[in-house]
Chain A
Amino acid sequence: MTSVTDVSPARPAFRLTRAFWGIERLVVPALLIAGWEAFARSGMLPPALLPAPSAVLHALGDWVFGFDETTQSYSGHWLRDALASALRVFGGFALASLFGILAGVAIGWSRLFEKTLEPTLQMLRPIPPVSWIPLAIIWFGIADKPAIFLVFLGAFFPVLMNSIHGVKTVDHNLVRAGAMMGANSRQMLTDIVLPAALPSIFAGLRIAVGSAWMLTVTAEMVAVKSGLGYVLWDSYYFLRYDIVLAAMISIGLLGYLSDLGLKAIMARTLRWQQTTTVQGRAG
């Protein structure tokens, strides 16, 4: 069999652009790191205050693999520290997602919840989660719980706001179409309003996972004696800026990975939406 028309695009050019995009992603970070290394070696600042990337990499390597104990008591303990932070992020984020979506959908869907629940929540929202630290410490002591509580506070409101918005902005005509096809009010919620609100809910979850990492680290700097944030703050007291930077990089990396994971789940769940976005399947 031979096909009449060849619909495949010009492959070589396509591959070239793909390769170019791969490289282009690395250009900016590479330039930044090279400039930083050069500046650190120029001696304009003492190396203790601005460690070179190579020194930070060294510290990070030892923290992870423990090869020469340059990071002293942290040597080889990265996994333990990262896991401690990640568990707090996960715990707080999971709770915030659960309650944020439940409360958001309830408020968006029912006038009763909107009137009774929303004003209180909206008054709590402007209070910075960090300002809860003193209370969190008296209530929960110094351990995982105050950190999870703080993460919850930081992650809850983005999920709540976006869930409310998602439910409230569901196309009126879809609800009509559902009623026309005989949906009862439970089906209206589960089969029409929830799926229609999902893109907005996911947008909230992605903002929330970022807040979750920020607040875990904040909590660990003040109210907890383990995790990446604790290492960061502790090394600051010992003037180990290389470890401070290694901790910052670890946090950035883990935060980025969490977002990638969430994005992958979102892409799977919202596959129907992909062709309608400006960027299409790329990105």
Chain B
Amino acid sequence: MAAIELRNIVKVFSDKRRGRDLLTLDNINLDIEANDFVCLLGPSGCGKSTLLNIIAGFEQATSGRTLVDGKQVERPGSDRGVVFQQPTLMPWLTAIDNIAFHLKLKGVAKAERYDRAMEFIDLVGLRGFEHHHPSEMSGGMNQRVGIARALLMNPSVILMDEPFAALDAQTKLEMQEELVAIWQKRRCTIVFVTHSVDEALVLGNKIVVMTRRPGRIREAVNFDLPRPRDITSPEFNDAKRHILALIREESTRLAQAS
């Protein structure tokens, strides 16, 4: 049984103001195995966030079935940690309180909450900023709080929506390595949305390329290059060439159609 099963997912947004419907996801079928690190790659507006929201339970598919660990997804839950495209931290809470918010909701005492959250503060390199509010930290730091917050719940599935887009190259590299280390240690299932082919190839062991809207799955490529990955190796470049070809094919097809 796959960890995440998407069966014939169709999502139509009804645009009431303009009086027409927008087909966003068109018949998505995808099996994600437990402990997969799946990178979702596709052009802007193709429905990556929408697909993630459906798995998270924030949105309902217009038709089709979404199963996580064999159970139909009906609502959001702490078994699926989400790192949002924007950090979306509680602005009135400090970094450590944001990270430990899940424990607070569960009624865990403050001392233990802080104890557990400190581990994740260290993990994302924010020691010294644990009592800062989101408005007192940079966008990248806030994004790291958002990542720590999702990891602390120890979810079986982590859904990440372009989490490193706001980071500088240096921090991005560090965070990518950190994420791979966490994934190897914890053996959780990760679905990671990105625009960047390189990022997808550095992180994923399965790369799902989506088409332009309406989003379909163009191809799911398995990529088992051993880690740490050498981005200058021939294997890496072969895979990159293959994926770039898929994307290019897509845009020429579109150009011919118009």
Chain A positions near chain B (C-beta within 8 angstroms)? 171, 173-174, 176-184, 187, 191-192, 195-196, 198, 270, 272-273, 275-276
The chain B residue sitting closest to A177, CB to CB, is B88
> In the complex, what distance in Å separates the CA atom of A179 from the CA atom of B80?
11
- Tell whether, in the assembled complex, residue B88 and residue A179 are in contact, meaning their CB atoms are under 8 Å apart: no
Pick 6 A–B contacts, CB within 8 A, sort by A: A179-B58, A180-B56, A180-B76, A181-B149, A181-B153, A182-B77
Q: Looking across the interface, which residue of chain A has its beta carbon closest to that of B93?
A: A272
Interface flags for B28-61 (1: CB within 8 Å of A; 0: not) read 0000000000000000000000000000111000
Q: Are A173 and B90 in contact (CB under 8 A)?
A: no
| In contact, B102 and A171 (Cβ under 8 angstroms) | no
Using a CB–CB cutoff of 8 Å, the interface residues on chain B facing chain A are: 56-58, 75-78, 80-82, 84, 86, 88-93, 101-102, 104-106, 133, 135-136, 149-150, 153
> Are the CB atoms of A173 and B149 closer together than 8 Å?
no
Q: Are A272 and B102 in contact (CB under 8 A)?
A: no
Check A173 against B153 for contact (C-beta < 8 Å). Answer: no
Contact of A272 among B82, B92, B101 (CB under 8 A): B92
Minimum Cβ distance to chain A for residue B101 (Å)? 6
A186 to chain B, nearest CB (A): 10
- CB atoms of B88 and A173 under 8 A apart: yes
* Residue numbers in B under 8 Å from A198 (CB-CB): 92
Asked if A180 meets B90 with Cβ closer than 8 Å, knowing A272-B135, A273-B135, A275-B133, the reply is no
Cα-based distance from A183 to B77 in the complex (angstroms)? 9
Q: Determine the distance from Cα of A268 to Cα of B106 in the docked complex, in whole angstroms.
A: 27
* Cβ–Cβ < 8 Å partners of B86 in chain A: 173
Point out the residue from B58, B75, B105 that lies within 8 Å of A191, measured CB to CB. Answer: B105
User: Which of A171, A181, A272 interacts with B78 by CB under 8 Å?
Assistant: A181
Contact of A180 among B80, B104, B136 (CB under 8 A): B80
Q: Is the CB of A180 within 8 A of B133?
A: no
What is the bound-complex CA distance between A272 and B131, given in angstroms?
A: 11
Q: Would A272 and B88 count as touching, CB distance under 8 A?
A: no
Pick the contact of A183: B57, B82, B105 (CB < 8 A): B105
Determine the residue in chain A with the shortest Cβ distance to B159: A180
Q: B125 CB to closest chain A CB, in angstroms? A: 22
Interface contact tally, CB-CB below 8 A: 72
> A181 CA to B150 CA in the complex, in Å?
8
Say how far A194's CB is from chain B's closest CB, in angstroms.
10
- Contact between A275 and B88, CB atoms less than 8 A apart: no
> Do the beta carbons of A182 and B102 come within 8 Å of each other?
yes
Complex Cα spacing A182 to B150, Å? 12
> Please, how many angstroms separate the alpha-carbon atoms of A178 and B91 in the complex?
13
| A171 partner residues in chain B, CB cutoff 8 A | 88
Max count, chain A CB within 10 A of own CB: residue among B57, B89, B90: B90
When the two chains form their complex, are residues A180 and B78 in contact, meaning their CB atoms are under 8 A apart?
yes
B135 touches which of A176, A179, A275 (Cβ 8 Å): A275
- Do A276 and B135 have beta carbons less than 8 Å apart? yes
Chain B residues near A174 (CB-CB < 8 A): 88, 90
Find the A residue at minimum CB distance from B79: A182
User: CA of A252 to CA of B19 in the docked complex: distance in angstroms?
Assistant: 54
Q: Is the CB of A180 within 8 A of B91?
A: no
Given contacts A171-B88, A173-B84, A174-B88, contact A275 B136 (CB under 8 A): yes
Q: Which residues of A contact B81 (CB under 8 A)?
A: 180
Q: Is the CB of A182 within 8 A of B78?
A: yes
Cα distance, A195 to B89, chains bound together (Å)? 13
Docked Cα-Cα span, A230 to B136, in Å, equals 50
Known: A181-B149, A272-B133. A176 touches B105 (CB 8 A): no
Q: Is the CB of A191 within 8 A of B88?
A: no
Min CB gap A229→B, angstroms: 39
Q: Is the CB of A195 within 8 A of B105?
A: no
Q: How far is the CA of A240 from the CA of B100 in the complex (A)?
A: 64
Question: A180 vs B89: C-alpha distance in the bound complex, in angstroms?
Answer: 12
Cβ of A221 to closest chain B Cβ, rounded Å: 42
**Which residues of chain A are near B90, meaning CB under 8 Å?**
174, 177, 192, 195-196
- Most central of A171, A192, A272 by chain B CB within 10 Å: A272
Given A180-B76, A275-B133, A275-B136, 12 more pairs with CB closer than 8 A: A171-B88, A174-B90, A176-B82, A176-B84, A180-B56, A182-B106, A182-B153, A191-B105, A196-B92, A270-B92, A272-B92, A273-B135
Q: Chain B contacts of A181 at CB under 8 A? A: 78, 101-102, 105, 149, 153
Complex Cα distance A187/B101, Å?
A: 11
Chain A residues whose CB sits within 8 angstroms of the CB of B77 once the complex forms: 179-180, 182
4 nearest A-B residue pairs (beta carbon): A182-B78, A179-B76, A173-B88, A181-B102
